[in-house]
């Protein structure tokens, strides 16, 4: 048995979780924080058969594709004026670990 840990952005977490659940995987969601950006992200825990790890990775990848989005940004000028302009940012993507499970019990 394997334990898959998938760290995804909060924006993608619901879609990833729904896709996994629809495919009959059991999923646990943890609210986590990235050490570098110190921003919230979501870690999904999936326990599954060894043969199904690739399917989990495929579903996570499908629902959390790295993409660019245009978001509004503001620049301030010393004269007390502000200008709003669009900037392109990268969002999405997933960091996935798969671990061997020594024992799995439900008591
Ligand atoms: P990613 O590499 O896509 O990582 C996204 C989040 O996944 C990370 O959030 C962290 O929560 C988790 N993560 C990634 N690799 C990990 C690992 N080896 N072990 C445990 N958790 C891991 P953040 O730490 O906030 O990082 C956000 C993004 O900032 C990263 O995106 C990467 O592009 C960049 N980054 C992270 N650490 C960096 C560093 N030391 N120097 C430069 N850029 C860094």
Tell me if 70 is assigned to some domain.
Answer: yes
| pLDDT tens for each residue of 41-87 | 999 999 999 999 999 999 999 999 888 888 887 777 667 777 788 88
Residue 101 has pLDDT above 90, yes or no: yes
Coil, helix or strand at residue 36 = coil
Q: Is 87 in the pocket of ligand 1 (CB under 6 A)?
A: no
Q: How many domains does the chain have?
A: 1
Tell me if 62 is assigned to some domain.
Answer: yes
8 touches 94 (CB < 8 A): yes
Look up the domain containing 15 and give its range: 2-100
41 CA: nearest ligand 1 atom: 11
Q: Which CATH number belongs to the domain containing residue 11 in this structure? A: 3.30.70.120
The pTM of the full predicted model, rounded to 2 decimals, is: 0.87
Tell me if 106 is assigned to some domain.
Answer: no
Average pLDDT over residues 7-20: 97
Q: Is 7 in the pocket of ligand 1 (CB under 6 A)?
A: yes
Please write down the long-range contacts of 79-82, taking CB distance under 8 Å and 24 or more positions apart.
none
Tell me if 105 is assigned to some domain.
Answer: no
Mutate to test the pocket of ligand 1, among 40, 45, 95 (most ligand atoms within 8 A of CB): 95
pLDDT the model gives residue 42: 98
């Amino acid at each position: 048995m394997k334990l898959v840990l998938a760290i995804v952005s909060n924006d993608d977490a619901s879609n990833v979780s729904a896709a996994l659940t629809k495919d009959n995987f059991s999923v646990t969601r943890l609210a986590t924080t990235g050490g570098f950006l110190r921003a919230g992200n979501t870690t999904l825990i999936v326990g599954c058969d060894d043969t199904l790890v690739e399917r989990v990775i495929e579903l996570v990848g499908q629902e959390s594709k790295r993409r660019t989005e245009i978001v509004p940004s503001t620049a301030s000028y010393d004269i007390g004026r502000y200008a709003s302009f669009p900037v392109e940012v990268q969002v999405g993507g997933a960091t996935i670990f798969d671990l061997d499970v020594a024992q799995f019990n439900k008591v």
